[in-house]
Structure formats: structure tokens, C-alpha cells
Amino acid sequence: MIHRPRRLRATAAIRELVAEVSLTPANLMQPIFVREGLSAPREIMGMPGVLQHTETSFLTELDRALSAGVVSVMLFAIPESRDPEGSAALDPNGILNRAVRAARAHVSDHLVIVADLCLDEFTSHGHCGVLGASGAVDNDGTLEAYGLMALELARAGADLLGASGMMDGQVGHVRKVLDQNGFDGTGILAYAAKYASTFYGPFRNAVESELTGNRKTYQQDYRNRTESIRGISLDLEQGADIVMVKPALCYLDIVSAAAGISSVPVAAYLVSGELAMIESAAANGFIDRDGAIWEALYSVRRAGAQIICTYWAIEFAQKLKG
């Protein structure tokens, strides 16, 4: 035989020499939850090792991220009270804006601060936008709210706004509002392909979601690929600085497709249900935990994502450094 591919697998050193995909701490983005009114951090049901933080304890997470070499965090906030309009999201002194200001003051520009630009944590009905007279989410009315929310987050010091609501035209509208108000340097991380997924289940515990029903009228159908490509293309046209696919593991084909057409960096979000599956299987002794997580992270990189938003970011960045 002339062709013996096993020659390049013979030793660990050879395998390292020819490895096609690399992973560094800078590829990993850490989501962080800040809960208003909390006196001490508390674990989130269904998300082992992940906490709701107080307004002071989350600053320690920023320090841990920096120490591990993680260069970006995504902030989510849970208010004490909600209303149908999600007005706490628009309050300059609301919990998310306070967290962004505190983070910026704490780390200066040493971390990229991404703020979640969505209303679902703030609405009493749990949807990602304001409701119209029919009870359905009002797309264009929601865009107006996103614009106001974006301005407050930009004023607070966010580097990037995680436009996750899946409203038509959200990137273009937010870009226009930011530019008209002097925030042309604030970027948009667009959730360009966000599916109506079962794998978000534990996240709803993290943000104490009050949603009944589902979000299938605005999040994408998991049976479809073409509409995801269309969504990515539209967000790129409207000025997205980064495009994201969410969830990651069941949508690696979409991550790959995004990488093939995007002129900006591609991100993917390893979501709460994906975390829960691996952690639960490992806790029961069915799989090796670290091996499974490494495989998951590298699969997303192999598919073409430059940025992986994952609850394991700090832990596995530390292991990469080690």
C-alpha cells in the first residue's frame, strides 16, 4: 500500500503537528447572568455549575475570564419586576444597564462586553417583543423598543449588542438608531439563525422566564435551512458585525453554511440544553465529561465558528492554558 493515513496518527506529537483545527481561550465567550435583588449567587436548575450572580459577584466572573484568557462575555440580566412592555430594559438605571456600566468600570477595555438586546427577560408575558392588539408579537413596535434599549446599552458602555429577538429588520433598525445618535462604534452581534429549539429549556430557569406557549412565529423552524441562509444574508446586508447561529450542535450544517457566505466573523452558541445533556450523561457515568466537552467545542470550530459562546468558556480556557 502506498497510502497509509495512519502514519499521521501514529503519535500524539504527529497528531498535533497535522491537526486542522485549533482552539484558544480567545475563541470562547462566557455568558453571565446577573439577578437584581439577589444577596448571594445561586445555582440554576438544569445548568450544573452555572449561577445567577449578584451585582457584585459577577465582577469576580469578569476577573476569572480575564485570568483564563477569555476576551469576551455576554451579559444577561433578570429584573425584580416585569411588565408587558418590558420597560425595565429601557430604564437607564435598569439592571442590565447597571451591570454593563459596572462591568465597563471594572475591566476598562480589557474584555469585550456583549449585552443581550432582547425583551424576553423583561416582559411579563415572556416574549421577545411587545404584543399587538391581537396578542401576537408586534414586529415593528418591537423594533422601536429595541432601538431605545440599544441606545441605553451603548451609553452604558457595551461593545457589542447581542440582537437576539429575531424580529425582521432588527439589525438595520438598531444600526440606524445607533449611528444617528453618535454610537457608530458600537457593534451588533446578530443572532442571524436562531431556531425555535427545545434545547433552550434550562435557560428559561436562568432568566426566570414567564413565557407560556412558544416563539415559533419569530424564531426559525428547525426543518429549514434556506430561511437561515436568507436570515444571515439579510443581517449581513443590514450591517451585522458578527453573525451567530443558535443552538450549535444540532445546527453544525448551518454554522458551516454561515462560514461559507459571511464576510464577518461567525459565532455559535452552545446552549443550556446542550450543556445539560453532556453534564447529565457525565454525572451518570455514561460518557467522559471533559472528553465530550472538548469534542463539542472542536466540532463547532471545525464547522467554521470563530467564536463559541459557551457556559464552559472560563473552565475550558483555563484547561487550554494549562
Point out the residues that are catalytic: 194, 246
Chain CA centroid to CA 211, Å: 19
Q: Are 184 and 219 in contact (CB under 8 A)?
A: no
Q: Residue 304 has which C-alpha cell?
A: 467554521
Rounded Cα distance, 267 and 163, in Å: 13
| Short-list 229, 236, 276, 230, CA closest to 255 | 229
Rounded Cα distance, 91 and 37, in Å: 16
For the chain, how big is the Rg over CA atoms in Å?
20
Rounded Cα distance, 41 and 29, in Å: 20
Q: Are 176 and 143 in contact (CB under 8 A)?
A: no
Chain CA centroid to CA 125, Å: 22
